[in-house]
Structure 1
């Protein structure tokens, strides 16, 4: 395969050797073994190392002439970067030698030497400028080029060669400040990577007010894509000590910070502020650094904040100021417009209005956005919202009060159906408002107590006023029929109670449109009022039973209508079932014959209704016709004993009893007959009725019912 004779040196070649001819000014022949033939990266044409085993080696060193500046520049343009840098270093060395020679005593040629040295120094600097342009161009292009490895490898070799030259220069005696060394190309490389990052990311001028979230999303996508490309195409080319991936991460991090700082120099819209704060606190760490770290773990400790803390504080303060302006200005306008609409739509039966929905939607945007950013900002925005909302709800309460005052005074005409529906609609605003208030208060209960109390107080007042208006209007319709209960004709006439039940059902067709829990308060109040008015009719003592048959008949009637009341309010979803047993206990007291059984039933009644007093039990005993003083006293003593065992008199017991469970305390006793003989009482009542016929009768009114002497048996 290889010739066994060298035609130049005319000698036989040993097996496994080849003859290489090198021409400088003369042709020199060197015979080398194939295993030792190699090309070096020296500035000369190369060093050919001969094998000691060859006795006929002619020469071990040959020298080419140094290339010109133009030739070096061509090497740079062709991106033969390592060779070009090597020649530039040679040229720089010649400059240094010329400079050293210029310091010797002047002779005739010293000025020309100095001029030549200065020209070479300029050439070196120009060549370094061109070399760096190509170096950083390769760095820039290699990011997205999977085939840029060879050129980038030359860049790395140049950096290493230059770093070594800087070290050698620093260790030499010729090192002096102010010269071209150290060139610090490794630092320039980092700056080049920063320039790559700065040029790759979307510019801040591409940001449009109100659309910062879109710009930040483009920023996120570009950072993630570029760092992924760096990991795939670039990082493996660099030595580990360069920490290339960390350099790229740091460069892109700083480029992002510069974009955000430029954006925050101008006033931002509130939507853009929320987007930016969310990006700073969450999305950048999660969706940018977190995504990159999955495939290429790195330390985040060296990354500085994207924005100074003063800037972040200013942005958060802008959020709070926006919320304050919203609850003081915008919501006040909403309430004014809503109040006008109440008057204009009285002729329309509407049971829902959009006030609560509108207010909550406007405040909920800030609450949700701030809470998604971080807990601290969410808590501050929630507290600010709650403070403003408490003031707003008080204004709402005053508007509702004026509305009711105007309707009840006839200022807005007589529109019963419209008034009822509007009252329900106003009450229906309270549950969503209350839920939103509670949500705001949960963010920081320690500082929300006062505002929470004020807000709930206003809502309670609106609900209570609405319940009072509706229950009173219902009572105006059913009151005449209560006047006809527990009379002689009542025993054989079911019409009064049937009318009461029918009117309640009719009204609750509308009242059912009220939302819970206010509806539960309304039905509980109506339930309590109906039972209480029924008890008032009983306590008037307009029937006195004279026989066991009569007692049984009356007790049965009380029991039946008590059961009907229970069923009625169960269908209306009343939760006040504790009221239902009052009439059944009274019916048992009236019907029972033996004193011990009556005592036991009275004890149960007093236990279930602690506000029952002796006068109530006495009135019931009058109805059943019990006139024996001893028996009455035995039964009444049960009430006294229970009151004593409960630890106090009537005052302390009632003080502990809330109005929600007070029933008999609001039931007056208008007729008591203690020890009169039944016959005498009948004579007295009959005589009284005779005298009353001789007196002119008062004119009947809508709210009064004439007593009939036949009502007492």
Structure 2
């Protein structure tokens, strides 16, 4: 403890020597960190480098363009302003001009004395205790002062011996209190010099020679031991002022904290394009802390005693200042980007890229630095982030749909990609959703999970808006030249959306039905629109396919009483085949689905013709002949549709089963076939069966009732079960 911090000297308060000593610490120059004002880190990416450059603490004169060119003096703890003289000036300058305060402080060594060439009897008497015989005498106060002024830390041992000798003299008695305090004032003035030398070296440890640094650390460790011994012994009665514990280790740690504050408080590099001021500050503090701590681990830890915990001391100081800066920033209303960047640093980059970086993870494992922000602050910031992201996604998706709708109505042709009509809308929406999800996951996986559910809701809302806008386009823009191409492009979009949903939600159970239903509706309406012209060609007029229940080509079956069914069906197949190239710009999967619709339409219309009750065949031979025509037609339909990509294998059994019901003559055999048909097609009703049985003119009413009764027995439907007979209206 310096003289200025001495406790009251009791009854000797006011004595000249004590007064001079008390003024000594006050009159010392304050020591300041020679930080590198203006030195700034070079701009870089937001993420910390995985293999940062080694911290090259150099001199002030070097380039200020890069943060890695900082000086080691920023790592060194300064003394308190009122406790340490400024050692930043050159040694030569100090010899030329000493401060008046420093000169006054050392007046304790010469007060009341003549020049050295003319020593007085009082001086000789006063220094007799520190001048033993030549063989083993302690250095004089003046000699120790000179040693310390020249930075000779070896003087620490004799100074400690001088202090102990003073304590022994006090215990032995025979020396006046005034004399004891005079000697103590000299000892304490020397300790001020020693403290300045020791902490001055520790202020810039990377600039000091390793051996000098070890000497300073040894002195500091010795002083700590003396402090502990004094604390264990207790105060006790003493004429001397209490000077221990001096707490130099605390001063060193306080200096580390001041160094951390200055290092992290430097202005970051000039604004980089696209970066906010807060973002540059985070980047500067994170990089500085990481690289400084790596330098401490690599270069200081091997030199410092383990009990000093040098890595922990620096890490805690840097962490506390970093956390204080972020806590202050979190009090303000942040922009959307700054909120995100702050959370990324607190939740991801700081714990993962700084604290748990390869060079620091093992060293900081037991330090327990914790989070840069409190849990309450983090929760508030996360709630703000989620709200910001949802609002941003909503705005961006709405804008993308509006721009796409304008292209439709302005008759802008879609792009062609690999021979397919292509729209950028799906890509834009998927990118917007994915970026929102990725930003949340870059903070924490838990926040990413929360964002996933919120984005699911927004995606469902967008798809509903998309379907409504597309339906409006289908109704109002049929006259446009690029109408069909844009319809195909939007049908193709459904593939991109479905693939995205399948990848985002790994299992079908995770995919909500309300998310996919707008896509199914959009695709179905688009396909129906494309098929209107084809079905219109089969019917002779362009109508909605739902109303196509009687068409000229199919009508020929009943008009000719099934006299030439093969010729009629071949003409139908020819018309369909001529129109199929119109669908070549669909994605393959949708072209297959379209062919399935065509396949279903052909089979359905064929059944409609069979169910008209206009053909009654009374002989078995006639019924067998019709059954043969039906089987041949079924084969032709199946072969044509399959060759053109129809996946509707579930339709293959329908016409052959009806042909078998018409061919069979035994009521029991007919019942078995009816039961089989009902198992494959659960929507095969008694009305449909009655229409088919009406062709068999040789069945009695009783036999017909018995056959129909088999449908009262539940046979169990096979999977998959799709609508076929329910599309056929029978009267």
Q: Is the 8 A contact 2:616 2:694 kept in 1?
A: yes
Residue 414 of structure 1 corresponds to which residue in structure 2? 479
Partner Cα separation in structure 2 for residue 177 and residue 403 of structure 1: 99
Q: SS at the partner of 1:237?
A: coil
Matched, 1:667 2:728: yes
Equivalent pairs, count = 582
Residue 444 of structure 2 corresponds to which residue in structure 1? 374
Change (3 A) 1:347 1:298: closer
Residue 596 of structure 2 corresponds to which residue in structure 1? 524
2:200 aligned residue (131, 134, 140) = 134
* Structure 1 residue 250: Cα displacement: 2.8
Partner Cα separation in structure 1 for residue 704 and residue 213 of structure 2: 110
Change (3 A) 1:529 1:323: same
1:403-423 CA-to-partner distances (Å, cap 9, x unmatched) read 22313xxxxx624x7333322
Q: Which has the larger radius of gyration?
A: 1
Residue 468 of structure 1 corresponds to which residue in structure 2? 528
In structure 2, runs of 5+ residues without a counterpart are 1-128, 540-551
Q: SS at the partner of 2:246?
A: coil
Q: Is the 8 A contact 2:681 2:721 kept in 1?
A: no
Q: Is the 8 A contact 1:606 1:639 kept in 2?
A: no
Change (3 A) 1:461 1:245: same
Residue 350 of structure 2 corresponds to which residue in structure 1? 284
Change (3 A) 1:388 1:664: closer
- 1:536-685 pair list within 5 angstroms: 536-545=608-617, 550-592=622-664, 597-623=669-695, 626-630=696-700, 633-634=702-703, 636-641=705-710, 643-646=711-714, 661-669=722-730
Residue 429 of structure 1 corresponds to which residue in structure 2? 493
Residue 384 of structure 1 corresponds to which residue in structure 2? 454
Q: SS at the partner of 2:609?
A: helix
* Structure 1 residue 370: Cα displacement: 1.1
> TM-score normalized by structure 2?
0.67
1:378-426 CA-to-partner distances (Å, cap 9, x unmatched) read 122222222333333332232223222313xxxxx624x7333322323
Partner Cα separation in structure 2 for residue 331 and residue 476 of structure 1: 37
* Structure 1 residue 119: Cα displacement: 7.7
Matched, 1:187 2:250: yes
* Structure 1 residue 536: Cα displacement: 0.7
Q: Is the 8 A contact 1:92 1:121 kept in 2?
A: no
* Structure 1 residue 659: Cα displacement: 11
Matched, 1:360 2:430: yes
* Structure 1 residue 585: Cα displacement: 2.0
Residue 607 of structure 2 corresponds to which residue in structure 1? 535
* Structure 1 residue 434: Cα displacement: 4.6
Change (3 A) 1:581 1:262: same
Change (3 A) 1:189 1:96: farther
* Structure 1 residue 46: Cα displacement: 9.6
Q: Is the 8 A contact 1:539 1:619 kept in 2?
A: yes
Q: Is the 8 A contact 1:488 1:543 kept in 2?
A: no
* Structure 1 residue 533: Cα displacement: 0.9
Residue 537 of structure 2 corresponds to which residue in structure 1? 477
Change (3 A) 1:125 1:162: closer
Change (3 A) 1:168 1:586: closer
* Structure 1 residue 163: Cα displacement: 1.9
Q: SS at the partner of 2:142?
A: coil
Partner Cα separation in structure 2 for residue 46 and residue 506 of structure 1: 124
* Structure 1 residue 365: Cα displacement: 0.8
Residue 576 of structure 2 corresponds to which residue in structure 1? 504
Matched, 1:323 2:323: no
Name the stretch that deviates more: 258-267 or 383-392: 258-267
Matched, 1:205 2:274: no
Matched, 1:333 2:399: yes
Change (3 A) 1:435 1:97: farther
Residue 404 of structure 1 corresponds to which residue in structure 2? 474
Q: Is the 8 A contact 1:327 1:388 kept in 2?
A: yes
Q: Is the 8 A contact 1:558 1:587 kept in 2?
A: yes
* Structure 1 residue 154: Cα displacement: 0.8
Q: Is the 8 A contact 1:609 1:663 kept in 2?
A: yes
Change (3 A) 1:334 1:95: farther
Partner Cα separation in structure 2 for residue 360 and residue 192 of structure 1: 53
Q: Is the 8 A contact 2:467 2:519 kept in 1?
A: yes
The structure showing larger relative contact order (alpha-carbon pairs under 8 Å, at least 6 residues apart) is 2
1:432-471 CA-to-partner distances (Å, cap 9, x unmatched) read 445555677789x9xx99xx55544433432333243334
Change (3 A) 1:345 1:128: farther
Q: Is the 8 A contact 2:326 2:372 kept in 1?
A: yes
* Structure 1 residue 177: Cα displacement: 12
* Structure 1 residue 342: Cα displacement: 0.8
Q: Is the 8 A contact 1:278 1:373 kept in 2?
A: yes
User: How large is the Cα RMSD of the aligned pairs?
Assistant: 4.5
In structure 1, runs of 5+ residues without a counterpart are 1-42, 48-58, 143-147, 408-412, 648-652, 671-713
Q: Is the 8 A contact 1:370 1:381 kept in 2?
A: yes
Residue 104 of structure 2 corresponds to which residue in structure 1? none
Matched, 1:67 2:142: yes
Change (3 A) 1:503 1:422: farther
> TM-score normalized by structure 1?
0.69
Q: SS at the partner of 1:612?
A: coil
1:594-623 CA-to-partner distances (Å, cap 9, x unmatched) read 555545434433333333344434433443
Residue 243 of structure 1 corresponds to which residue in structure 2? 309
Q: Is the 8 A contact 1:352 1:425 kept in 2?
A: yes
Partner Cα separation in structure 1 for residue 636 and residue 648 of structure 2: 15
* Structure 1 residue 264: Cα displacement: 4.8
* Structure 1 residue 159: Cα displacement: 0.8
Matched, 1:342 2:412: no
